[in-house]
Chain A
Amino acid sequence: MEKINLDNVQAQMRKGVLEYCILLVLSQRDAYASDLIEILKESRIIVVEGTLYPLLMRQKNAGLLSYRWEESPQGPPRKYYSLTEKGREFLKELDQSWRDLVLTVNTLREKMHSES
């Protein structure tokens, strides 16, 4: 039997919504990796930073994101990510899925709690 531990379940939940959160942040403003990391860490969506990079790469390959190089006030140029048109469409659908999911879970919770 597989052991279930809380950390693991929480980590899986976070991972599931990480992609959604990346798009969400980028829909507000373009950001380079460190900006993204800061925001996602603040909201406790990512724990280790390395998780972000393969996801960004995948979203870029899927045409959801694009990036451009920009000079930085200190150090080498930075890669700024922005949402593409396709990314915006995708985000809209994810918004809907998220609302549905939250609604479903909340309805279920209320139902179960009121029964107990």
Chain B
Amino acid sequence: MKKTNHVNIGGMVFTIDEDAYQRLAGYLDAIEAHFRDSGERQEIIGDIESRIAELLRKRMGSSREVVVMEDVVEIIRILGDPEEFGDGSDGKAGTWKEPHSRYYRRMYRDPAHRILGGVCAGMGAYWHIDPVLLRIALLIAFFGFGIGILIYLLLWIVLPPARTTAEKLEMRGEPVTFENIGKFVKEEFGQVKKNMKF
């Protein structure tokens, strides 16, 4: 027996095994990370999702109901590793090396672990320190000097929230690679499961 998920891919609904879902989600995140500098990121991903939906629909035919790991692996083989895509700019197709090395670290707000706006949680993840310490420092700055709240509000406005897996990896200073994204998605799944139990 296996747990399954319902997903909407490019406007079509699929029932998909949980392990296959994680693999596919990791793949889409890797694509998103690859095109993160492109203004048309959403559009390209939309196009690719439509193609994935079409390929899956074809593979499923009328007899099968659940998308399994083999389907996802085959789809990824057909579409290829995002590193092979090229970025569509002049003469650069396929010759990109280490395209994400510039982005290893970036400060974000962390809405997943927030108390207020996730500013301290984000800074904590960035510097690898306990956000509780930062919150205490902030309170001291607030009562001691009265500028803590200003700084906080400013950061709240300035820092973007980490929403995608790629952004969360950057926030923690980990390279955005296919494996890391897979690992992270798994970790988050574990977390969600734990939270649901209590």
A interface residue numbers (CB < 8 A to B): 11-12, 15, 18, 33-34, 37, 47-51, 53-58, 61, 74-76, 78-79
Do most interface residues of chain A lie in helix, strand or loop, or is the interface mixed?
A: helix
B interface residue numbers (CB < 8 A to A): 10-12, 31, 35, 38, 40, 43-44, 47-48, 50-51, 53-54, 57, 78-82, 84-89, 93-94
Docked pose: A55 CA to B88 CA in angstroms: 5
Report 12 cross-chain contacts, Cβ distance below 8 Å, ordered by A residue.
A34-B54, A50-B84, A50-B85, A51-B85, A53-B44, A53-B47, A53-B85, A54-B85, A55-B88, A56-B47, A57-B44, A75-B11
Docked pose: A49 CA to B44 CA in angstroms: 13
Q: Establish whether residues A48 and B78, one from each chain, have CB atoms under 8 Å apart when the complex forms.
A: yes
Partner of B94 from the list A15, A33, A57 (CB cut-off 8 Å) is A15
Docked pose: A49 CA to B11 CA in angstroms: 20
Once A47-B80, A53-B44 are accepted as A-B contacts, the answer to whether A75 and B85 lie under 8 Å apart by CB is no
Q: Establish whether residues B44 and A51, one from each chain, have CB atoms under 8 Å apart when the complex forms.
A: no
Once A33-B47, A54-B35 are accepted as A-B contacts, the answer to whether A15 and B86 lie under 8 Å apart by CB is yes
Q: Establish whether residues A51 and B54, one from each chain, have CB atoms under 8 Å apart when the complex forms.
A: no
Task: Name the CB-closest residue of A to B83.
Answer: A50
Contacts of B78 in A (CB 8 A): 48-49
Contacts of A57 in B (CB 8 A): 38, 40, 43-44, 88
Q: Establish whether residues A48 and B93, one from each chain, have CB atoms under 8 Å apart when the complex forms.
A: no
Docked pose: A49 CA to B46 CA in angstroms: 14
Scoring B38, B43, B51, B93 by chain A CB atoms within 10 A of each residue's CB, the highest score goes to: B93
Contacts of B80 in A (CB 8 A): 47-51
Once A57-B43, A75-B57 are accepted as A-B contacts, the answer to whether A49 and B88 lie under 8 Å apart by CB is no
Contacts of B94 in A (CB 8 A): 11-12, 15, 51
